[in-house]
Amino acid sequence: MRLKLPRRSVIVNIHGIGTPARDLDPGEDVAWVSVSQFEMVLDAAIGRDDVRLTFDDGNASDVEIALPRLLARALRAEFFPAAGLLGEPGRLDKDGVRELHRAGMTIGSHGWAHRDWRHLTPDLAHEEFIEAPRFLADIVREPVTRASIPFGSYDRHVLRRLRDARADRAYTSDGGRTREDSWLQARNSLRSNLDAEWIRRVMLSPPSLPRRARQVAARTVKRVRG
Ligand SMILES: [Zn+2]
């Protein structure tokens, strides 16, 4: 009898594409990719049901650049805007969020103001974990139950707050593959130095055993620290 292993998918996380329409935060430019880099990733995702795509931060490029290219390839994705930043220059506004949702994309929460969730007062935690998904749910008229963690920064307190807020999936930036039924979903963030070799290594080939062991060890540390 063959043992059926749980499916492990690759989640690719995208931040901004093309020329930013706003001043970026210090160090944020390394998370931006060109349109052609982005298209290379999309083309590698075609026909791959073990590859999933997510978008963090709610940049205007989500609607202006990503959406038409996803639709042209019949690809779906999940978008995680920061609710409190909607409508700011270079960001999605409420109509943009509705447009993504109407086009069949899933909307999740990236919190309210893109704060580090490891360092929050109780008031700010309420805004980040409770008010942000509610605000987005009002826009799309549907419950928003998934969350992606800003800066991939978490510890056991962050995870407890997400569970208390009834998030049914929590997305990190830990890298590697992830089991589709896992509550904590590891993702691979695109970087400005993205090339065909990255796509081959991360999206196409199964990770080597030593690399997987290192990834699992790093995640365990984050999950229990506090
Ligand atoms: Zn972010």
Residue 146: alpha-carbon gap to chain centroid: 10
Give 53's contacts (C-beta < 8 A, 6+ positions apart): 11, 12, 13, 14, 41, 42, 45, 70, 75, 76, 77, 78
Q: Consecutive 10-residue runs of the chain (226 residues): their mean pLDDT?
A: 73 97 91 97 96 98 98 98 98 98 98 97 97 98 98 96 97 94 96 96 77 76 80
Position 182, amino acid: S
pLDDT value of position 3: 64
DSSP state of 166: T
CA of 189 to the centre of ligand 1 (A): 10
pLDDT value of position 217: 78
CA of 3 to the centre of ligand 1 (A): 38
pLDDT value of position 207: 61
Report in angstroms the alpha-carbon separations of 174 from 171, 177, 187, 198, 220: 9, 9, 6, 16, 11
CA of 92 to the centre of ligand 1 (A): 14
CA of 4 to the centre of ligand 1 (A): 35
CA of 1 to the centre of ligand 1 (A): 44
pLDDT value of position 4: 64
Token duo for residue 160: 């407890």
